[in-house]
Amino acid sequence: MAFTLSSLNLSSVAEDGGYELKITGSFEAGHRYRAFLGDIGNTSDPECFSGYPQQRWVNVWNGVTVRVWTPRVYPGLSSVTVLDIDTSESHTLVDYITVVYQQYRTTVVNMKKVFPLFYQVGIRDINLFPRI
């Protein structure tokens, strides 16, 4: 029985990696899978992480989902490729996810909201930032 891919839980991720990516589809129980994220659209792309140290494959989670974590990749449209290690079969979701530059504005504003006013750390509302 062949496996199929249908969707992802995210439409965009930041370039720095480490985001949980749930790939849904029809997977064979007991098989080991590897996932790749990048602009080439095959197994030459950077490999996603399984979340377990020294383990390069992932198992099917709840019957229809493979759960991986994204690597560091270049911004742009990226494809997700899943490889079945046991049968060497692979499928690709072409240009399915957008990788964007990491933005720290919201994090900085949230930190400034926590500090007392006498610290004078600057703008405290993200809407007050100048448009770039």
Write b or e for each residue in 84-123: b if 16 or more Cβ atoms lie within 10 A of its Cβ, otherwise e.
Answer: beeeeebebbeebbebeeeeeeeeebeeeeeeeeeeeeee
What is the model's pLDDT at position 95? Answer: 87
DSSP state of 116: -
Mark whether 84 and 115 lie in a shared domain. Answer: no
Mark whether 68 and 10 lie in a shared domain. Answer: yes
What is the model's pLDDT at position 80? Answer: 94
- pLDDT tens per residue across span 37-54: 998 888 899 999 998 888
Q: Are 96 and 37 spatial neighbours (Cβ–Cβ below 8 Å)?
A: no
* pTM listed for this prediction: 0.76
What is the model's pLDDT at position 49? Answer: 93
Mark whether 14 and 64 lie in a shared domain. Answer: yes
What is the model's pLDDT at position 63? Answer: 77
What is the model's pLDDT at position 104? Answer: 67
Mark whether 60 and 39 lie in a shared domain. Answer: yes
Q: Mean pLDDT of all residues in the chain?
A: 84
- How many contiguous H segments (helices) and E segments (strands) does the chain have? 1, 8
What is the model's pLDDT at position 122? Answer: 60
Give which of 21, 47, 38 is closest to 99, Cα–Cα: 38
Mark whether 79 and 14 lie in a shared domain. Answer: yes
| Share of residues in the chain with pLDDT > 70 (%) | 80
Which residue range forms the structural domain that includes residue 58? 4-100
Mark whether 65 and 114 lie in a shared domain. Answer: no
Give the separation between CA 98 and CA 20, rounded to whole angstroms.
14
Mark whether 28 and 90 lie in a shared domain. Answer: yes
What's the total number of domains in the chain? 2
Mark whether 64 and 127 lie in a shared domain. Answer: no
Low-confidence residues in the chain, pLDDT < 50:
none
3-state secondary structure of 117: helix
Tokens in use for 3? 């496996």
Mark whether 123 and 96 lie in a shared domain. Answer: no
What is the model's pLDDT at position 129? Answer: 55
- pLDDT tens per residue across span 77-96: 999 999 999 999 999 999 88
Give the separation between CA 131 and CA 5, rounded to whole angstroms.
39
Alpha-carbon 95 to chain mean position: 13
